[in-house]
Structure 1
Amino acid sequence: MVALFKTTALMGLCLLSQVLGAKLLVTHFSGPLYTLDFNPSTSSLKISSQTNGCGQIPTWLYLDKAARTVYCFDESWYGSGVLSQYALKSDSSLSLVASAPTPGNSVHGSLYGGADGKSFVVTSEYSPSTITTYKLPITAQSKPIQTLSFTMAAPGPRPDRQDKPHPHAAFTDPSGAYLVVPDLGADLTRIFKIDRSSGKLTACPAISSLPADGPRHGLFRKTASGALKYYSLNEISSSVGVYDVTYPSSSSGCLSLKLVQTLSNYGPGKTGLETEKSAEIRISGDYLYATNRNDQTFGKEQDSIAIFKIGSTDGKLTFQELTNAYGYYPRSFSINSAGTYAAIGGQTTANVAIVKRDAKTGKLGPLVANINIAPRGTYGGEDGLSSVIWDEC
């Protein structure tokens, strides 16, 4: 009862604090985590608080809205890193709760397992070619439950990017029974069965993508008829793959995926250059978005975001247009719950751009606010701005 009252009180304070504006949470590869205040009525965007504690190279944030808790993943490639847990105060500032040591090079993470789907956390380690699981809550004494390592017999078709397996994300399917791991290096979407009570993972047959796709992130969505689709953002080929999702008929089976469409982020019949690479995928309403890094479609250091219409019955994609990302190397992209604004994190330009979104047409633009958060990144470097998400209670 006390915990329920505390949670309700915090939610009330959070909602009150956002009456006059919106909050965003941002990480920078140089170390700090920021809370931003966005005021739509004045088009102002400013830093309201700053903290540290997520190791040397914070790269990804996971927000547990109900618990007002944030998890931050450290991409440090120096042989060690941290997994940090923060409490969100009523003003959306972050208070470090605990940090656990990790092997480092984590590029993504999310919660899974347990009765509520939030009893464990999984991290994806890019260069070690591993995923690692931990029990929650995080403490300084937290140790891995399980570390799964991946290998491949030979480099892939893009040996500069596919020298070995590179898991780039880990998240559950809508049922919470399976973990999905896009592997950029191996051209695979790895699937694991989850033991909800122990957090242990058991490998299922992996799903091959097209050669040199380089799966990075992914999302699930149901069609109007209730059929489940999986959308894979392919970093190397700058495309989105659409998959039919099939669940097993018995508890001994596994979730499976069947590729039914692949569409370039630059439209039918077009491809990105080898120097261009996709970064983030989001869905809002009937539209899917994919960010393109280093295409400079809209001018010097002005990259693009692809917009697709999702078919209501078959879930397939129709390319709509490219729109300005208002930054260079848009690594992170997030849409607010109302579908009225999008936040774009320019990695190299180290900026957060806020653009309007038309919830009916899915169109993005114009730019309504922008902030630069120093230091600026370097071309092709793992520096600059790493992630941005909305904090909506």
Structure 2
Amino acid sequence: MPDYPKVNYKEEGMREGMQIEDSQISVENKIMLLDALSETGLKQIVVGSFVSPKWTPQMERIDEIVTKFNPKPGVNYTALALNSRGVERARAYSPPLTIERDQYPRLGVHMCDVFVRRNTNRTQMQEMERWPQVIAQAQELNIKEAGIGTNASWGSNFLGEFPVDNLMTMLERQHSMWDEVGIEVRSCAMGDPMSHCTPAKVEESVYRVKERWPEINHIRLHLHNGRNMAIASAYAAMRVLGPDDTLDLDGTIGGLGGCPYCGNGRATGMAPTEDLLHMMEDMGVDTGVDMDKLIDCVWMLEGVVGRELYGHVSKAGPRPKKLEELYDIDMPFVETLESAKHFKKGPEAYEGGIYPYQQPITSPYRDRVNAGQPAYDSSSGDWPWKQDWFPAKD
């Protein structure tokens, strides 16, 4: 099994998710959800944004949420603040909030000039004009390590695809500016607000960053999932990086989320937390998250927003592995999403389903599993090769 990087996972449902939902969702429901998320084992939760309610009315009552929720020890709660006023508002609630500071001062830029104009009312050139100021501040503070980064890294709904060569050229320029003042670059961030990530592009990008600058050991990916590529792209990054690296990933329960500036709205979404962490657990990465409680949160959220969300594990359940998790082999047809919830709700979820079998279903393989044996022996074993009923006996 490969040695994967350390993964820092951040739950963004309360911020990235709620910012595109109905502004009339009650504070009480948001607090209920935040408290439930706190009990899942997630270590990093973004509670919302301190931004102008004129443009993001969904965050108008963020102060009330932060005042009334029940913080759990060991969970790092943060909030987005886009300017100094937002930071000062957030400081009033620290603790329980952690005023998040990037580990490294970072040069960053959107690859898409159109998106940054729509999103922040600035140009790409104005973003780059700030680079000397960021570097000067780092020098004044005697900072020794820094970061580089891009957003809209692999493409744009307004300008089309960006080859990885374009991304690397932008990162090269940023890196050279840090080099000129003797500050080592240790971190690289790549964002994707318009869902242009693909596993191939993310793999190539992370590989080329590591190949070009082996000393970079901290990769940050913010991947949107409008084209269902975010989880596969996160997996691709994990395959490239090693145990001495750190990978920061974001997602939202149920895949909730969206962006009003990119042209896809709620369809933009993010990787569903339950699906991404389920994959990581299967890879041997200990997430520390109680999947059963996380699925409860997804179902709760679906009730709050009034529709089914985009994840899969919350619908089909985690892969059953333990004996007590295996399905009843004699169950009736399971056809609806509601009846599929039997993995948590039990047989009553599919009660009354069509039962077409004249005799109960039995299997010698299930008998073995029920007895604590594997369904199959190893290739050198006796099962099922030497059974009387097996057609390919020697």
Question: What is the TM-score normalised by the length of structure 2?
Answer: 0.32
Higher helix share: 2
Using structure 1 for the length normalisation, give the TM-score.
0.32
Structure having the higher strand fraction is 1
Larger Rg: 2
